[in-house]
Amino acid sequence: MNQPETFTSPIGPLITRYLTLKRALGRRAVSMAYILRHLDRFLVSCHAAGLTRETFTAWSESMASLHATTRRGRLRTVYHLCLFRRREDPHGFVPDPTQFPPQSPRPLPYIFSEADIIRLLAAAEGLSPHKVSPLHREVARLSIVVLYTTGLRRGELVRLALSDYEATHQVLHVRRSKFDKSRLVPLSADAAMELDRYLTARQKLGAPCDGDAPLLVHNHGGRFRGYTGEGFGHSLKQVIRAAGIRTSQGRAPRIHDLRFTFAAHALLRWYRAGVDVQTRLPALATYLGHASVVSTQYYLTFLEATAEAASERFHTHSAAWLTPSVGEGGRP
């Protein structure tokens, strides 16, 4: 059973009330609690009498080694805490968010082609089982297929338990993921076949079959343990590098780019079929577990780029015969 959180700085009671409110509103507030715990310990370590402009600045400077985006996120968490305090103390300090590190532009995702996916599967097929990971090949293959065909987040796949797969209906149950949202994710026939093949290999090795057992397992640190997000990411990145796939900047694509690829390919299929893409966005948002359709609209930027490129290519190759020739007297 988890022990109740204890905050011992002068603003400890304020933090406790703030987190209690957020959780009462349905937020798990895991990262929020982590950040505020870090602030609380900092205030204790420097014997601060409270959260003032000076202590806030000192705390911000203590995180100078972190990426600007990470610092910005932490500072904004405390900014909202200070706004909450203003309800009780109208004169309480509130930092100026315009002075926070600027938000970094989102990295341009890599959209995998079907040929890229074939190369990834070939690289996974070439993996050999070993003592720490007897299902090395099977886990890699299944991960590529599921991430590519469902758009799941990496953490969602890692947290799946055996009971989260309904074989009869070929559906995955993603529980309490980002934004505390749960959803059912139907699998394609190929993805369900790959998952059934993996489960058969998993059972032959004697892995536990109770519903709470993790779906993806390895033997690092113990038999049939579930992957951490970091460990899973490291393993799959090796497959991506082995496949020789590189972005235009010469880097290996991110695992999250498989999620982008799923969304972009779905939008492109609708575009080519003449479907009104805007009317389909709510369905795609629900499938991907987005908090709102606004997040899903971000993927349209890649669809528009693809459509523009296709239009330009069509113009380059077809302009000559589409433009009527002009004969004598100015008539075609």
By annotation, the residues acting in catalysis are 153, 178, 256, 259, 290, 299
Question: DSSP readout, 111-178?
Answer: ---HHHHHHHHHHHHT----SS-TTHHHHHHHHHHHHHHH---HHHHHT-BGGGEETTTTEEEE-S-G
- Report the alpha-carbon distance of residue 316 to residue 114 in Å, rounded: 25
- 3-class DSSP state for residue 234? helix
Q: Determine how β-strand 217-218 pairs with β-strand 183-186.
A: unpaired
Q: 140-170 burial, b if ≥16 CB within 10 A, otherwise e?
A: bbbbbbbbbbbbbbbebbbbbebebbeeeeb
- Report the alpha-carbon distance of residue 151 to residue 42 in Å, rounded: 39
The answer to whether 147 touches 154, Cβ cutoff 8 Å, is yes
| Residue whose pair of structure tokens reads 């799946």 in the numeric block | 160
